[in-house]
Protein backbone atom coordinates (compact mmCIF):
# COMPACT_ATOMS: atom_id res chain seq x y z
CA UNK A 1 0.00 0.00 0.00
CA UNK A 2 1.03 3.64 -0.36
CA UNK A 3 0.32 6.51 2.03
CA UNK A 4 -0.66 10.09 1.27
CA UNK A 5 -1.00 12.87 3.85
CA UNK A 6 -2.77 16.08 2.90
CA UNK A 7 -3.00 19.28 4.92
CA UNK A 8 -5.46 21.53 3.11
CA UNK A 9 -6.02 25.05 4.46
CA UNK A 10 -7.55 27.40 1.86
CA UNK A 11 -6.49 30.93 2.61
CA UNK A 12 -3.42 29.93 4.63
CA UNK A 13 0.10 30.99 3.70
CA UNK A 14 0.66 27.45 2.34
CA UNK A 15 -2.87 26.24 1.53
CA UNK A 16 -1.80 22.86 0.11
CA UNK A 17 0.81 20.65 1.78
CA UNK A 18 1.20 17.02 0.79
CA UNK A 19 3.47 14.16 1.87
CA UNK A 20 3.51 10.72 0.26
CA UNK A 21 5.38 7.43 0.44
CA UNK A 22 5.15 5.08 -2.51
CA UNK A 23 5.16 1.40 -1.52
CA UNK A 24 5.72 -0.97 -4.42
CA UNK A 25 7.53 -4.09 -5.59
CA UNK A 26 11.08 -2.82 -5.42
CA UNK A 27 12.07 -4.45 -8.72
CA UNK A 28 9.42 -2.46 -10.59
CA UNK A 29 11.34 0.28 -12.39
CA UNK A 30 10.47 3.97 -12.42
CA UNK A 31 11.90 7.39 -13.23
CA UNK A 32 12.07 10.34 -10.81
CA UNK A 33 9.85 13.42 -11.25
CA UNK A 34 10.30 15.24 -14.54
CA UNK A 35 8.26 16.32 -17.56
CA UNK A 36 7.91 12.78 -18.94
CA UNK A 37 4.74 13.12 -21.08
CA UNK A 38 5.06 15.04 -24.37
CA UNK A 39 1.28 15.21 -24.74
CA UNK A 40 1.08 16.93 -21.33
CA UNK A 41 4.29 18.97 -21.16
CA UNK A 42 3.26 20.90 -18.04
CA UNK A 43 2.85 17.72 -15.94
CA UNK A 44 5.65 17.10 -13.46
CA UNK A 45 5.84 13.75 -11.67
CA UNK A 46 7.46 10.36 -11.34
CA UNK A 47 6.96 7.88 -14.19
CA UNK A 48 6.33 4.15 -13.88
CA UNK A 49 8.34 2.60 -16.71
CA UNK A 50 6.24 -0.59 -16.84
CA UNK A 51 2.95 1.09 -17.76
CA UNK A 52 4.03 4.68 -18.48
CA UNK A 53 1.81 6.41 -15.96
CA UNK A 54 2.44 8.06 -12.60
CA UNK A 55 1.63 7.56 -8.93
CA UNK A 56 1.93 11.28 -8.02
CA UNK A 57 2.18 14.35 -10.20
CA UNK A 58 1.09 17.96 -10.56
CA UNK A 59 0.38 20.23 -13.48
CA UNK A 60 1.15 23.81 -14.38
CA UNK A 61 -2.11 25.02 -12.88
CA UNK A 62 -1.12 23.79 -9.42
CA UNK A 63 -3.38 20.71 -9.40
CA UNK A 64 -1.87 17.67 -7.61
CA UNK A 65 -3.10 14.10 -8.12
CA UNK A 66 -1.94 10.95 -6.33
CA UNK A 67 -3.26 7.41 -6.85
CA UNK A 68 -3.10 4.50 -4.38
CA UNK A 69 -4.11 0.84 -4.55
CA UNK A 70 -6.98 -0.34 -2.40
CA UNK A 71 -6.72 -3.45 -0.22
CA UNK A 72 -5.89 -6.64 -2.10
CA UNK A 73 -5.20 -5.04 -5.48
CA UNK A 74 -1.42 -4.74 -5.76
CA UNK A 75 -0.07 -4.96 -9.30
CA UNK A 76 -1.62 -5.12 -12.78
CA UNK A 77 -4.48 -7.37 -13.85
CA UNK A 78 -5.20 -8.67 -17.34
CA UNK A 79 -8.04 -6.78 -18.96
CA UNK A 80 -7.72 -3.77 -16.62
CA UNK A 81 -6.17 -0.42 -17.48
CA UNK A 82 -3.20 0.89 -15.52
CA UNK A 83 -4.13 3.02 -12.52
CA UNK A 84 -1.16 5.22 -13.36
CA UNK A 85 -3.31 6.71 -16.13
CA UNK A 86 -5.69 8.25 -13.62
CA UNK A 87 -3.52 11.14 -12.37
CA UNK A 88 -2.67 12.01 -15.97
CA UNK A 89 -6.37 12.10 -16.86
CA UNK A 90 -7.02 14.34 -13.87
CA UNK A 91 -4.15 16.67 -14.74
CA UNK A 92 -5.71 17.57 -18.07
CA UNK A 93 -7.78 20.02 -16.03
CA UNK A 94 -6.79 23.38 -14.56
CA UNK A 95 -8.55 23.06 -11.20
CA UNK A 96 -9.18 20.26 -8.74
CA UNK A 97 -12.96 20.49 -8.96
CA UNK A 98 -13.05 19.85 -12.72
CA UNK A 99 -10.34 17.20 -12.43
CA UNK A 100 -12.28 15.31 -9.77
CA UNK A 101 -15.50 15.55 -11.78
CA UNK A 102 -13.71 14.04 -14.79
CA UNK A 103 -12.40 11.08 -12.78
CA UNK A 104 -15.79 10.67 -11.13
CA UNK A 105 -17.42 10.29 -14.55
CA UNK A 106 -15.24 7.29 -15.47
CA UNK A 107 -16.33 3.66 -15.47
CA UNK A 108 -14.63 2.25 -12.40
CA UNK A 109 -14.78 -1.27 -13.83
CA UNK A 110 -11.99 -0.39 -16.28
CA UNK A 111 -9.38 -0.36 -13.46
CA UNK A 112 -8.47 -2.47 -10.47
CA UNK A 113 -9.67 -0.85 -7.27
CA UNK A 114 -8.02 2.48 -6.41
CA UNK A 115 -8.06 5.57 -4.26
CA UNK A 116 -7.12 8.92 -5.77
CA UNK A 117 -6.66 12.29 -4.08
CA UNK A 118 -6.93 15.42 -6.22
CA UNK A 119 -6.26 18.87 -4.76
CA UNK A 120 -5.26 22.43 -5.49
CA UNK A 121 -5.00 25.53 -3.30
CA UNK A 122 -8.80 25.91 -3.23
CA UNK A 123 -10.34 22.44 -2.97
CA UNK A 124 -9.52 18.78 -2.31
CA UNK A 125 -11.30 15.54 -3.25
CA UNK A 126 -11.10 11.83 -2.50
CA UNK A 127 -12.33 9.33 -5.10
CA UNK A 128 -12.53 5.55 -4.90
CA UNK A 129 -12.96 2.94 -7.58
CA UNK A 130 -13.88 -0.51 -6.33
CA UNK A 131 -13.29 -2.41 -9.57
CA UNK A 132 -16.94 -2.29 -10.67
CA UNK A 133 -19.59 0.36 -11.10
CA UNK A 134 -19.12 4.12 -10.97
CA UNK A 135 -16.24 5.94 -9.31
CA UNK A 136 -17.35 7.42 -5.98
CA UNK A 137 -16.33 10.98 -5.10
CA UNK A 138 -16.34 13.05 -1.92
CA UNK A 139 -15.03 16.53 -1.17
CA UNK A 140 -12.45 16.59 1.60
CA UNK A 141 -13.05 19.23 4.28
CA UNK A 142 -10.22 21.61 5.17
CA UNK A 143 -7.71 20.16 7.58
CA UNK A 144 -5.54 17.08 7.84
CA UNK A 145 -6.32 13.92 5.89
CA UNK A 146 -4.41 10.64 5.67
CA UNK A 147 -5.15 8.02 3.03
CA UNK A 148 -3.75 4.51 2.57
CA UNK A 149 -5.57 1.55 1.01
CA UNK A 150 -8.94 2.06 2.71
CA UNK A 151 -10.84 5.26 3.53
CA UNK A 152 -9.56 8.72 4.50
CA UNK A 153 -8.64 9.00 8.20
CA UNK A 154 -9.69 5.38 8.75
CA UNK A 155 -8.82 4.78 12.41
CA UNK A 156 -9.32 1.04 11.95
CA UNK A 157 -6.16 1.15 9.81
CA UNK A 158 -3.04 0.53 11.92
CA UNK A 159 -0.89 2.96 9.94
CA UNK A 160 -3.41 5.76 10.15
CA UNK A 161 -4.12 5.11 13.83
CA UNK A 162 -0.40 5.44 14.60
CA UNK A 163 0.53 8.36 12.39
CA UNK A 164 -2.49 10.63 11.97
CA UNK A 165 -2.16 11.94 15.56
CA UNK A 166 1.58 12.46 15.00
CA UNK A 167 1.01 14.59 11.91
CA UNK A 168 -1.76 16.46 13.74
CA UNK A 169 0.63 17.26 16.60
CA UNK A 170 3.46 18.41 14.32
CA UNK A 171 3.89 22.07 13.46
CA UNK A 172 2.59 22.66 9.92
CA UNK A 173 5.53 22.92 7.51
CA UNK A 174 6.60 26.26 6.11
CA UNK A 175 8.51 25.20 2.97
CA UNK A 176 11.38 24.99 2.38
CA UNK A 177 11.34 24.07 6.08
CA UNK A 178 9.31 20.84 6.21
CA UNK A 179 9.70 20.51 9.97
CA UNK A 180 8.90 17.04 11.31
CA UNK A 181 7.25 15.70 8.17
CA UNK A 182 10.38 14.10 6.61
CA UNK A 183 11.16 12.23 9.83
CA UNK A 184 7.54 11.07 10.11
CA UNK A 185 7.72 9.71 6.56
CA UNK A 186 10.92 7.86 7.51
CA UNK A 187 9.37 6.07 10.51
CA UNK A 188 9.95 2.32 10.17
CA UNK A 189 9.30 1.39 13.81
CA UNK A 190 6.87 -1.29 14.93
CA UNK A 191 5.04 -3.83 12.77
CA UNK A 192 5.20 -3.10 9.06
CA UNK A 193 1.43 -2.62 8.84
CA UNK A 194 1.78 0.43 11.07
CA UNK A 195 5.04 1.78 9.61
CA UNK A 196 5.02 4.67 7.16
CA UNK A 197 8.39 3.61 5.79
CA UNK A 198 7.86 -0.07 4.93
CA UNK A 199 11.01 -2.21 5.10
CA UNK A 200 11.88 -4.65 2.31
CA UNK A 201 9.48 -7.57 2.78
CA UNK A 202 10.08 -10.21 0.10
CA UNK A 203 10.87 -7.52 -2.47
CA UNK A 204 8.09 -5.12 -1.44
CA UNK A 205 8.67 -1.88 0.43
CA UNK A 206 8.82 1.90 0.32
CA UNK A 207 10.35 2.85 -3.03
CA UNK A 208 10.29 6.66 -2.86
CA UNK A 209 8.94 9.62 -0.93
CA UNK A 210 7.69 13.10 -1.84
CA UNK A 211 6.76 16.44 -0.29
CA UNK A 212 4.75 19.04 -2.22
CA UNK A 213 3.73 22.53 -1.14
CA UNK A 214 1.59 24.83 -3.29
CA UNK A 215 0.91 28.47 -2.42
CA UNK A 216 0.24 31.73 -4.23
CA UNK A 217 3.44 32.54 -6.07
CA UNK A 218 5.32 29.58 -4.59
CA UNK A 219 5.92 25.90 -5.25
CA UNK A 220 8.06 23.51 -3.22
CA UNK A 221 8.48 19.93 -4.51
CA UNK A 222 10.93 17.56 -2.79
CA UNK A 223 11.62 13.96 -3.80
CA UNK A 224 13.59 11.14 -2.17
CA UNK A 225 14.56 8.53 -4.76
CA UNK A 226 14.34 5.64 -2.31
CA UNK A 227 13.24 4.97 1.23
CA UNK A 228 13.36 8.27 3.17
CA UNK A 229 15.64 6.67 5.79
CA UNK A 230 18.41 6.24 3.22
CA UNK A 231 17.62 8.76 0.45
CA UNK A 232 17.87 12.53 0.71
CA UNK A 233 14.97 14.78 -0.27
CA UNK A 234 16.08 16.76 -3.32
CA UNK A 235 14.32 19.77 -4.80
CA UNK A 236 12.34 19.16 -8.00
CA UNK A 237 11.95 22.17 -10.28
CA UNK A 238 9.82 22.65 -13.38
CA UNK A 239 12.17 22.55 -16.32
CA UNK A 240 12.67 22.61 -20.06
CA UNK A 241 10.21 24.43 -22.29
CA UNK A 242 7.12 23.18 -20.44
CA UNK A 243 4.30 25.75 -20.33
CA UNK A 244 4.52 26.06 -16.54
CA UNK A 245 2.12 28.91 -15.86
CA UNK A 246 0.23 27.82 -12.74
CA UNK A 247 -2.75 29.78 -11.53
CA UNK A 248 -1.33 31.78 -8.65
CA UNK A 249 1.95 29.84 -8.74
CA UNK A 250 4.33 31.42 -11.30
CA UNK A 251 7.47 29.66 -12.53
CA UNK A 252 10.35 29.39 -10.09
CA UNK A 253 13.38 31.53 -10.89
Q: What is the pLDDT of residue 73?
A: 63
Distance from C-alpha of 228 to C-alpha of 10, rounded to nearest angstrom: 28
Q: Which helix (H) or strand (E) holds 104?
A: helix 96-104
Q: What is the pLDDT of residue 67?
A: 96
The answer to whether the bond into 176 is cis (omega within 30° of 0) is yes
Domain boundaries, the chain: 3-235
Ordered per-residue pLDDT tens for the chain, 253 residues: 589 999 999 999 999 999 999 988 888 999 999 999 999 999 999 999 988 999 999 999 999 999 998 876 666 667 779 889 999 999 999 999 999 999 999 998 998 889 999 999 999 999 999 878 899 999 999 999 999 999 999 999 999 999 999 999 999 999 999 999 999 999 988 788 888 999 888 988 999 999 999 998 788 999 999 999 999 999 998 875 554 544 443 333 3
Which of these, 133, 70, 135, 73, lies nearest to 99 by C-alpha position?
135
Q: Are 221 and 210 in contact (CB under 8 A)?
A: yes
Q: What is the pLDDT of residue 145?
A: 98
Dihedral of CA 101/107/112/113: which sign?
positive
Q: What is the pLDDT of residue 240?
A: 57
Q: What is the pLDDT of residue 250?
A: 36
Q: What is the pLDDT of residue 63?
A: 95
Q: What is the pLDDT of residue 42?
A: 92
Q: Which fold has domain 3-235?
A: Penicillin V Acylase; Chain A (3.60.60)
Amino acid sequence: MCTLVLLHRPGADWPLLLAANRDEMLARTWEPPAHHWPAQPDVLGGRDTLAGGTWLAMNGAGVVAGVLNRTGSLGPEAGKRSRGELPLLALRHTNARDAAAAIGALDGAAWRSFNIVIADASAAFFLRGVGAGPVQMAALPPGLCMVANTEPNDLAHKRITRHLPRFAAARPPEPPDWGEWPSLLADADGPWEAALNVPDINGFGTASSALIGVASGRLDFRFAAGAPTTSKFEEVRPGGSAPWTPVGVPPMS
